[in-house]
Amino acid sequence: MKKTVFALLFLPFIILAQPPMQFKKADRNVIFGMYSGLALLMDIYYPDSPNGIGLVHVSGSGFNKPLSMAAQPLNHQSHVSLECQQLINEGYTVFSINHRATPRFKFPDPIDDAQRAVRYIRHNADKFKINPDKIGAIGGSSGGNIVLMIALLDGSGRTDDDDPINRESAKVQAVIARAPVTTFLNQSLYKNGVYLGLRGKEIERANSLEYQIAKKASPVAHATPDDPPVLLMHGDLDKTVPIIHSQMLVDSLNKYGVENELMVIKNAGHGPSFKGGLNVSEVEGKRIQWFKKHLLDQ
């Protein structure tokens, strides 16, 4: 039986923030890592008829969250239902994660957290009844940047680590990124010195430390022939993260022969609903098709 979760007035704010969704069951606030006493949390959504495939989901946030202890958790935004509900209906087990964010934390903390989440999921694959060799990832905007990073970085486990979770690979086998930030090297396309922890204008000096940090944070700099299939979705009227970000990544992936596709959402701006998009009705089917092709049918 499917159930719909609605917020109840007497529950704490952290519960009130959760979007209404349908699923068989959910494990809330599962600890997948600790950072100096700070718990890293994820929500796990189990489908009625699981297909044995797990998907990591990262909501967009501009890489930042408020400092307040009553702030809404990253993974309790509407992004979760908009990007994952139909995938849950199709049988995917979804792991929607929180990560450290600015202004308190900076790059590479969110990437480290997302990689830890993948390692945790892979290490506990039997418990979650998923295939450890076929894990996908989906996210948008800053979340799109993060899921691309865990797809494109090497992600090899540290074989001599005391923690067996850290010995696992953090690389995913298929990814969907909506309106992702793919480069920090061009300040006219996207500027976030707080996330990078540097003064933006110093990036313009190609041999500077700031340039090297911005490059390390940019998915376009990490394409290699062994990368998994990448589906990009981008509104052609996006002013927050212009579509050239996705176009640049396509060029990088093509250079190394990595399978990829860019789905342009006509007349759409930024945001998980692609508001105003003329072909937005095709988005859900494309997501389902992509993961089916590259995770279920492989």
Domain ranges of the chain: 3-183+218-296
- Answer whether 8's CB lies under 8 Å from 75's CB: no
Of all residues in the chain, the percent with pLDDT exceeding 90 is 86
| Helix-helix angle 79-89:283-291, to 10 degrees | 60
As a whole number of angstroms, the distance between CA 291 and CA 289 comes to 6
Q: 124 vs 40, 41, 81, CA distance in Å?
A: 16, 15, 24
- Report pTM: 0.92
Q: Return d(Cα 176, Cα 178) in angstroms, integer.
A: 7
DSSP state of 292: I
Q: How many CB atoms lie within 10 A of CB 232?
A: 25
All residues at 6 or more sequence positions from 11 whose CB lies less than 8 Å from its CB, including other chains: none
Query: What's the confidence (pLDDT) of residue 236?
Result: 97
pLDDT, position 5? 45
Q: Choose the weakest-confidence range: 22-31, 143-152, 175-184, 220-229.
A: 22-31
Helix axes 109-123, 142-152, angle to 10 degrees: 60
What pLDDT, in 10s, does the model give residues 221-242?
Answer: 999 999 999 999 999 999 999 9
CATH match for 3-183+218-296 among 3.30.420.40, 3.40.50.1820, 1.10.3720.10, 3.30.2350.10 = 3.40.50.1820
Q: Give per-residue pLDDT as tens, 62-107.
A: 999 999 999 989 889 889 999 999 999 999 999 999 999 999 999 9
Please, are residues 172 and 95 in contact by the beta-carbon 8 Å criterion?
no
Segment 27-55 shows an average pLDDT of 96
pLDDT value at 4 more than 80 = no
Q: Which two tokens stand for residue 206?
A: 């190609």
Write the pLDDT tens digit of every residue in 128-163. 999 999 999 999 999 999 999 999 999 999 999 999
Distance between CA 19 and CA 286 in Å, rounded?
23
Nearest to 29 by CA among 14, 19, 16: 14
The answer to whether residue 196 scores a pLDDT higher than 80 is yes
Average pLDDT rounded to a whole number, residues 264-289: 96
